[in-house]
Structure 1
Amino acid sequence: MRHSPISLADVEAAVARLAPHLTPTPVRQYPRLDADIGHGITVFVKHENHHPTQSFKIRNGLNAVLGRSAPERARGCIGASTGNHGLGIAYAGRLTGTPITVCVPVGNNPEKNAAIRALGATLIEAGARYDETIAECRRLQEAQGLALLHSTNDPLVVAGAGTMTLEYLRQAPELDALILALGGGSQSVGALTVAAALRPSLKVYAVGATGAPAQYESWRRGERLEGQASDTFAEGIATGSAYAFTFDALREGLAGFVQVTDEAMRAAIRDLLRYTGNLAEGAGAAGLAGLRVLAPQLAGQRVGIVMCGGNLSLAELRRTMDTP
């Protein structure tokens, strides 16, 4: 892919770094889910929620920390997150003895905050929106001389995300399409890079939240938007900007991009719990919500979705289960 910011070799190097620390997550099929989706579609579900931090972003965080030099790790690393990236780098910090600071928005998912602290990271709440949190993170990074672990604009992060698709294709080489939640774009760009090198016929679709349209509108207009409004319970895709490192690859490579409502993601959480016995967070259910939109045009195909995160707060679980 012409505009990919990483290569297949970068992804393979990430596989080598992660292999001693992570086991492959399962890919499963659920006949009741196939029947529900209809259109002759065979659905494959990759359970990234089975990682130690219940999210694919452990791949990103571990690769970002393990790929840093020893002096950088000794000084410490910092990142901004709504939770799952923070959990990934906190886990990596505990594994390697690297001091980690994680900046999160004020009012962030309390369970994610507690889990980050439990892994030994310093957690700082700053900013009402994620973009404001990033600004504070950069200020602290410069003031304290820390290594910045950006959740998107980092080749090690995106290469770590790419290991998921490389693993997925080895487990389910027959896939025709892959539908992925899109926040910053590491998961999608990793997938596009792997697909371009190994399975050019594989189509990659993105799913965003209607309440956080910055990435979708950037893709639709062909220009990178920043500082846009964001209002969705799915914090993993509550993105107010498109990012320089991933934008060109997304614009060039995606086969399509759909938006889904919070209500559709809540329905998908309930469906995934019903059919798979697994609890997804909002972003973790976005793939299924997007598949419902895309199903007519994917009729008869073998489609992969990813339960990319399972860190739903108790408060959001109650709201989701109480919704008709």
Structure 2
Amino acid sequence: MDTARNILSNTEALYHLIVMMLTLSQGVHSLPVPTDIPMCTASETAQYSLTFSGKWTQAAFPKQYPVYRPPAQWSNLIGVTHSSDYHMWQRNEFASNGVREFTEKGEAWTLMKEVETSGERIQSVYGVLSAPAVVEGTGQMNTEFEVFARHSYLSFIVRIIPSPDWFVGVDGVDLCDGDHWKESVTLELFPYDAGTDSGFTFSSPNFETIPQDKITQITSSVPNHPANSFYYPRLKHLPPMAKVTLTKIKKTNQIISLPLEPTQSNQLPTGNEIEDTLIHTPLDCEVSVWSPWGLCKSKCGESGVQHRTRYVLLHSANNGSPCPLLEEERKCFPDNCL
């Protein structure tokens, strides 16, 4: 309960920051930016609703699934609408200081300052948007935003909690298609590593990556290490951790919808709000290496037996391979028998 209160407190602070940023940005008019990318020629602005749906379940991600201190959950969504020359984050590029602080600590102040500075320098950022945190691995958050021809792209980032520096998000999805706006876009979201912390597990302590790595997508085999919380060698691909749906809505006179005051009403959807079939990822049992063989138990001149053992590192789940035998014995003859 204390964790939920802390998340809501942080959400409120971030909410007021977003409101302030939106208020300040309403008087800034973006200028055209030269680009080689085909330009959107839609004549009118468009408004969209954004629905982020968490799909981080213990059935889909059974390995080291965080159940307390804190349990699996999602941070606030921080996003921007922008032109093609701007990137909040990019795969295979270094994370900014703002992205580092957000993915490691959930602090958005530096990230918002970077957005503001980019908008002033290259006039590529049009609007800022936010949605409140989800204090469960499953659940939804919603917001609305506006795009227009020169700024038809959407980028956002959501921190995975708990994690060293992992997140999901979108880098520059274009909502324009020639001279018209797309009616609906649905994207499955997979985990990324910001490259700033070297932890392998959800609950790893802070261990700075020096030198900093580039942003990489986490897969069932990358990082290729059994300790990795997403290491599922039997899978070709990880199941999606989340999904985002962008739906064009009827235009109103409202420029942009401010995020709702944060509440706990968005924790767990009811009915068929998340319509996807529940995924059950098989998790094989993992055991330690064998201990050395024990002493040979027998009388002098007679054969005896000796034993060795191993222990369970990770129990199987969802019809994964069961644990093998944890004890072995073999015949032996005592050494140095007098």
Which bracket does the TM-score occupy, shorter chain normalised?
under 0.3
Alignment TM-score, normalising by the size of structure 2? 0.25
Q: Which has the higher strand share?
A: 2
Alignment TM-score, normalising by the size of structure 1? 0.25
